[in-house]
Amino acid sequence: MSKKLFIETLGCAMNMRDSEHIIAELSKYENYSLTTDLKDADLILINTCSVREKPVQKLFSEIGVFNKKKKEGAKIGVCGCTASHLGEEIIKKAPSVDFVLGARNVSKIRDVLHKKGAVEVDIDYDESQFAFSEFRSSLYKAMVNISIGCDKQCTFCIVPSTRGKEVSIPANLIVQEAKKAAKSGAKEIFLLGQNVNNYSHEGKDFSDLLNMVSEIDEVERIRFTSPHPLHMDDKFLEVFASNEKVCKSMHMPLQSGSTEILKRMKRGYTKEWFLDRAFRLRDMIPDVHISTDIIVAFPGESDEDFNQTMDVLEKVRFEQLFSFKYSPRPLTKAAEFADVVDSKVASQRLSTLQKRHDEILDEITDAQMGREFEVYFEELRSSGGVAGRSDNGFLVQVQGSEELLGKTKRVKITYPRRTTLYGEVV
């Protein structure tokens, strides 16, 4: 009988891919299969995120709950960025944890599994070319890593300390993996890295890589995350616009609209550069979607700085916004900045930003009534319909069932809502 693995994945797409790698290794070599029932599990893994403080606080209470509920003899492992960051402190604080596996040590899962108290968190470890076994949580789309780590030193961000230096994976390995996934039915390839458009390997940059992946016949769509606004040069924008397989939704993490704050964040670009790139994209591709990440109340952010952020929101009218209150993180430069913003002011700014974004989004949503999109269906909804994404990233749902999965159909929007556009196959 196979053993059972319960795995919880927090945080970003890279963590999701790391979890797939862990599942693949454990099912191929250690006879594990997945369970969603904690009480049934022989092994419980938490793949953690440390980008903001809240999830880290939650970790220890969660370990306590899992330890109480788990069956006799079941092991608990902590993986991911908080594992990298806290290392053996986790076991000291929570002795019920059997092992700790850092975000850059995923390939060592089988070693730590059999060593009570093992801590593998070396951020200089290079597993960028490790041949992981195969596991994919979706039949229709496949995540493919193109680089690991991050060489930027954004002053608010803990990731360079948990995922280490940036290493680009050789292009031929990426193409090989994308080909294999696409041949087995995943027509959409999702390229992953902390800073994808900084990709560089043997003279090939990210634009070259996009073109190489698009030459695979079975690949119909290419998405990627996250690009960095600083590296959005003309070549990249032109390949993005002209390559028909590259989906027309771009993540442009703004962080702040104030050039002064961007400088303190060490983002490397100005408000003007960001606007120039966003307008260029809107000019080249009228239907493009631009999503963003914004941090409010970074240390030193004045009302005027925040107004600059609101100004960018007004000018770009993002199709999607991920917004956060600044959260001081250990191992970061900004944690030493003394001019912290009052937490009430921070909450007000976050709510002002989100409220205005919602209004903009309602206008964008209403404007989709009656429009037609090519939708690649990938998910059965619990409500009964089938959902997929339009090329530019809208979540679209129609009535139907399995027979639509893995297919691309033209859909006319009949009932646009903020989170989902409902429509009919035409």
The interface with ligand SAH within residues 296-325 (CB under 6 A) comprises 324
Helix, strand, coil fractions of the chain, as percent rounded to 5: 40, 25, 40
Could you say whether residue 292 binds ligand F3S (CB under 6 A)?
A: no
Residue 7 or 296: the one with the smaller Cβ distance to ligand F3S is 296
Q: How far is the CB of 163 from ligand F3S (least distance, A)?
A: 7
In the list ligand F3S, ligand SAH, none, the entry touching 132 (Cβ below 5 to 8 angstroms by class) is none
Question: Any contact of residue 246 with ligand SAH (CB under 6 A)?
Answer: no
Q: How far is CA 334 from CA 141, 154, 159, 252, 322, in A?
A: 37, 9, 13, 22, 20
Residue among 105 and 332 whose Cβ is closer to ligand SAH: 332
Q: Which residues pair with 148 in a beta bridge?
A: 167
Q: CA–CA separation, 268 vs 195, rounded Å?
A: 13
The residue (of 171 and 295) whose beta carbon lies closer to ligand F3S is 295
- Residue 58's binding partner out of ligand SAH, ligand F3S, none, with CB under 5 to 8 Å set by partner kind: none
CB-nearer residue toward ligand SAH: 309 or 397? 309
- Binding partner of residue 52 among ligand SAH, ligand F3S, none, CB under 5 to 8 Å per kind? ligand SAH
Q: How many residues bind ligand F3S (CB under 6 A)?
A: 9
Q: How far is the CB of 101 from ligand SAH (least distance, A)?
A: 20
Give yes or no for residue 261 binding ligand F3S (CB under 6 A): no
Q: Which tokens sit at 237?
A: 């924008």
Judged by CB under 6 A, the residue of 156, 274, 306, 377 near ligand SAH is 156
**Site for ligand SAH contains 357 (CB under 6 A):** no
Q: What backbone phi and psi angles, to 5 degrees, belong to 241? A: -75, -40
Among ligand SAH, ligand F3S, none, what binds residue 160 when CB lies within 5 to 8 Å by partner kind? ligand F3S
Does a cis peptide bond (omega within 30 degrees of 0) precede residue 226?
yes
Size (the chain), residues: 426
Give least dist CB 231 to ligand F3S, A.
Answer: 10
- Site of tokens 């230096």: 165
Residues 137, 20 contacting (CB under 8 angstroms): yes
What is 104-136 written as a DSSP string?
A: T-GGGHHHHHTSTTEEE--TT---TT-------
Q: Which long-range contacts (CB under 8 A, 24 or more apart) does 302-309 make?
A: 304/258, 305/256, 305/257, 305/258, 305/260, 305/261, 306/258, 306/349, 308/256, 308/257, 308/258, 308/259, 308/261, 308/271, 309/254, 309/256, 309/257, 309/258, 309/353
* Cβ proximity of 104 and 123 under 8 Å: yes
133 with 25: CB under 8 angstroms? yes
CA–CA distance, 421 with 393 (Å, rounded to integer): 11
Q: Is 164 in the site for ligand F3S (CB under 6 A)?
A: no
Is 227 among the residues that bind ligand F3S (CB under 6 A)? no
User: Binding mask 202-231 vs ligand SAH (x if CB under 6 A, - otherwise)?
Assistant: ------------------------x-----
Task: Out of 45, 94, 144, 150, name the contact with ligand F3S by CB under 6 A.
Answer: 150
Q: How far is CA 24 from CA 34, 69, 104, 136, 343, in A?
A: 10, 25, 16, 8, 43
**Using CB under 6 A, which residues numbered 163 to 202 contact ligand SAH?**
194-195
* Minimum separation from the CB atom of position 188 to ligand F3S (A): 24
Closest CB to ligand SAH among 17 and 329? Answer: 329
267 lines the binding site for ligand SAH (CB under 6 A): no
- Using the rule CB under 6 A, is 293 a contact of ligand SAH? yes
The residues of the shown chain that bind ligand F3S, judged by CB under 6 A, are 150, 152, 154, 157, 159-160, 194-195, 228
Residues at the interface with ligand SAH (CB under 6 A): 51-52, 156-157, 159, 194-195, 226, 253, 255, 293, 295, 324, 326-327, 329
